[in-house]
Amino acid sequence: MADMPHGAGGRPPVGEGPWHRDMTRYHWFVLVVAALGWLFDCLDQQLFNLARVPAMKELLATTAGPASPEAVAFAGGLATCLFMAGWATGGLIFGVIGDRLGRAKTMMITILIYSLCTGLSALSQGFWDFAVYRFITGLGVGGEFAVGVALVAEVMPERARPHALGLLQALSAVGNFAAALIGIGLGLWQLGTAEGLIAGWAPWRWKFVIGALPALLALVIRAGLKEPDRWREMKAQADASGEKLGGYAALFGDPRWARNAILGMLLACAGVIGLWGIGFFSIDLQRSVLKKTFEAQGLTGRDLDGRLTIWSGVTLMMLQVGAFLGMMLAARLCQRLGRRPFFAIALTAAMLSTVLVFRYLDDISDIWWMLPVMGFCQFSLFAGYAIYFPELFPTRLRSTGTSFCYNVGRFVAASGPFLLGQLSSTVFAGIQNPEWMREPMRPAGIAMCAAYLLGLAVLPFLPETKGRPLPED
């Protein structure tokens, strides 16, 4: 099947009617496969977020007793930091491989890496082997996104491209939502067991076992997905001339693409730090708030742990309800308002909503509305990234450039969880007044919301790409 748009078969000519009428069955196949790759990628991320605290408690415990809450918080932040460093490293490596080897082949490799190493995380015996597995998992996670959006951007009809990319990102919420359901289900199962174990394993280990299943998607990719016509034509030209596609020397050898890469990376930094350095720690904040509530009700031991596991899943679910709606709306706003006005609104809303959660979330009832609002605002940025970054680079550099924007920022963002842990355990530890600052994660999270100002600062220097075709040098 060809990648090209259609005009026959009873459909209106390309450019008329709804955007999705321009798409053939093969276009939909590409979108579904790419969406599943990113969906399962996000499933892995969220299973890790849900498993982080109980995993650290078990892996850090010694014969002398359980680890302190401060040690658990520090180790959890460090594990997240290493995962994100792997994510950034994998993005840089596989971004170039995606330009040189092909989008479909590289996607298959990255899915196998993150799936298999997620499964290995379930076998961890201590912090450091767990951290190594998470770092390698990050390599695959980081590589998958850039080649996936490059693939979709190059295959889709011009008019459908931004909508398809927005839908690709929005469907990631399905993976996140599935992780929440898995967390809730394992928590309910845990409550029904005598020792809080499922077939001899703690629930957090089973989360990583489930996270290994997406490896099967690689078989679908190998069987039915082909490289985009744009990429194959560029590859043929490069082979004939003896040149190589992709590479950071080529990216930074042209002032136009170098400028887009650096500014795009700084724009991504704001959203990535906001989500991974602050937003996802709302799960830990919720555990702290509800732990006091449940202990006041007399719950202890496995009953307390089971309830907290269930509510961690609920918290993630509420985030993803907002996330899906925010990412679906983002594609429309990007088309209607333009890329830069959209990011200006989304960055401001993400900052204010995150401050709201970390300052005022203090009751079970708050979870039902505060977290959807924050998820809506924070995740809408990522739909914008999926649409915008492929529009900043030509075909020969699209995977490399998109990876650079989305993943180099993660080296900076990787310090976010570590910084949050440090602020919580040192700078804001022991503060008693005002009362809300007795939980140091609250002021630490609010302080880190300054990261969104970075995105607003670089936005005026980025190009507006609304209504323009993908660049070809």
Structural domain contains residue 11 = no
Contact 146, 93 (CB under 8 A): no
Encode pLDDT of 27-81 as tens digits. Answer: 998 898 888 888 888 888 888 888 888 899 889 887 667 878 778 878 888 888 8
Q: Is residue 472 part of a domain?
A: no
Q: Is residue 5 part of a domain?
A: no
Whether 248 is covered by a domain: the verdict is: no
Identify the pLDDT of residue 124: 92
Please choose, from the candidates 368, 362, 386, 374, the residue with its C-alpha nearest in 3D space to the C-alpha of residue 434: 362
Output the domain CATH number for residue 117: 1.20.1250.20
Is 8 among the domain residues?
Answer: no
- Which residue carries 């590859």 as its tokens? 235
Cα–Cα distance between 104 and 318 in angstroms, integer? 33
pLDDT tens for 87-128 read 889 888 998 898 888 888 898 898 889 888 989 999 999 999
- Domain range enclosing 188: 23-236+253-461
Please choose, from the candidates 292, 291, 434, 447, the residue with its C-alpha nearest in 3D space to the C-alpha of residue 358. 447
Task: Assess if residue 470 is contained within a domain.
Answer: no
Per-residue tokens: 144: 């998958």
- Give CA–CA dist 136/377, Å, rounded: 30
- Burial of 469: CB neighbours in 10 Å, binned 0-12, 13-18, 19+: exposed
Residue 124 inside a domain? The answer is yes
| Nearest partner of 460 among 352, 341, 335, judged by Cα | 341
Is the pLDDT score of 472 beyond 80?
no
Query: Smallest Cα–Cα separation from 136: which of 33, 30, 208?
Result: 208
Q: What is the pLDDT of residues 264-302, one digit of tens each?
A: 999 998 998 898 778 877 888 888 888 888 888 888 877
Please give the residue that has the higher pLDDT: either 305 or 99. 99
The answer to whether residue 245 sits within a structural domain is no
C-alpha of 197 from chain center: 29
Percent of the chain with pLDDT strictly greater than 90: 25
User: What are the structure tokens assigned to 131, written together?
Assistant: 């951290």
- How many structural domains comprise the chain? 1
E-only strand ranges, 161-307? none
Q: Which of 37-51, 192-206, 238-252 has the lowest mean pLDDT?
A: 192-206
